[in-house]
Structure formats: C-alpha cells, structure tokens
Amino acid sequence: MDTLDRLLAVLRAHPEGPGTVLLTGWFSFTDGEATAGDLLARAAVAQALDAAGVAHDTAWSAGFAPGARTLDEAPPQAYRHVLFVCGPLHGPQLLALHRRYADCVRVAVNVSVIDPHAPETTGFALVLARDGGTDPPRPDLAALAPAGPAPPLVALVLTQGQGEYGERRGHTDVTTALTAWAGAKDCARLPADTRLASDDWRLCARPEQFLALAARCDLVVTTRLHGLVLALRAGVPALAVDPVLGGGAKLSAQ
C-alpha cells in the first residue's frame, strides 16, 4: 500500500468519517518557507483527497499567499484531521501546530524524520515518512503531483554599473521597474549576466556558455547592450530597455 492509500485508509477509519481535512506544511508558517517540492507534494495529497471525495482546506502563510486562509483562520473545531505535508519534522513551528490542533487527529505525510523520539514526531498519530522513519524510504510525492503547463523561461540580464554615464544613469529606477514587472508575471525568472569569470560559479566562463544559456530561454529582458545582441544572436526575443537618461546610449544605438 503506497503513502496516499495508507493516508486515505486512516482518514476513512475515523468513526465519524474524514470530515474536512486541513492541509498544512512549512508553507503554512509565517516564519517557514514554501518550496516547489512542498507545494507539489501538497498538490499530490489534495488530488488524492479530491479523487476520494474528501473535503479539504489548506492553510497558507500570509507572506507567501496574501489573502488566502491562514492557520489563524482555520479553527481547530472545524477539522477532524490535520495533515502536515512534506519537509523535516523539526522546530518550534511543529510544536505550536500540535498545541493548536491538539484535539484533531494529526498525520504527517511525505516527511523526513530527524528524531523519531522528538515531540515534533511523537505528536502525530501517524507518520508516513519518506525517509528516516521505521519503514523503508518512499518516493517523494512531488514526483507524482499534477502540474500545469510549463511557463516561459525569462532571463534578466541587468546592470547596476556603467558609472561612466554619471548623472544620466537611470539604472536603479529601470532595474526596479523591470524586476517588479517580471516578478508579477507567471514565468520562471533566471538572473543572468554577460560578465565572465573563471573563479565565480555564478558567472559564465566563456561566451559560448552565455549563448547556451540564452538559447534555452524564451525571452531575455536586459539593460545591457550585449544582453540584446547575444539574445538575438541566439534566436531569442529580447526586451531591451536603455537605462541611460536623455535619449539613451549604446544600447539604443543598436
């Protein structure tokens, strides 16, 4: 029996049925974090609950999902089961979750057990661990989760230098506008740089490496002349903004 089948069996075994299930995770805590794997694992659990006809809510961190239901807006009396999905069973956030939902059946799903005797672990009625538990390791649920179509990959090739333009520099304002714009779009954002270095893994070491990077993108957003030139050379559309005030400079000249 796989992890999700075991989970559904536990929910159905409750004398009054599953009720509405609350999904929580590190994505629920204001001092936690949301990772791609966490959210995909949550989606796998939600899909299994939907297929089984089990109602469920999710509690989100207000910092990650403003306007969505938070733990404070998920009263314990509204739920029979609370699931903690994905991540390590460690830290004061887990202890606070146990205290808040003390009267609910708490189940940990797709988690890493750091210490099987720690209160973060023993507070759960059942731990369906991906690793560190008493059972053999299990495949992470993120690998099974539904996902939508892949969004575009957008490289941002921006410069904060070019001090030679003095008072004509509009780089800060242009960068702020472009990053805010890109941050509001449904795309995968890739910070990139045309500068090369042999001693910094974050930078390409050869021009061909940057061309390879650009070629894999769907769009290059840039304030650099060579961000524009090399994107077009790679056959990739470019959104180029000249950050030099008063009519632009070398980028506009291209």
Domains in the chain with CATH codes: 3-144 (3.40.50), 153-253 (3.40.50)
List 73's β-bridge partners, or say none: none
Tens of pLDDT, residues 19-71: 999 999 999 999 888 999 999 999 999 999 999 999 999 999 999 999 999 99
| Residue 76 scores a pLDDT above 60 | yes
Tens of pLDDT, residues 154-176: 999 998 877 676 677 878 888 99
| Residue 248 scores a pLDDT above 80 | no
What is the three-class DSSP state of 9? helix
Q: What is the pLDDT of residue 1?
A: 57
Taken as a whole, the chain contains a residue count of 254
Count the helix, strand and coil residues of the chain and give each as a percent rounded to the nearest 5. 35, 20, 45
C-alpha angle 16-18-19 in degrees, rounded to nearest 5? 85
Q: What is the pLDDT of residue 245?
A: 82
pLDDT band (50, 70, 90) for residue 133? confident
The pTM (predicted TM-score) of the whole model is 0.88
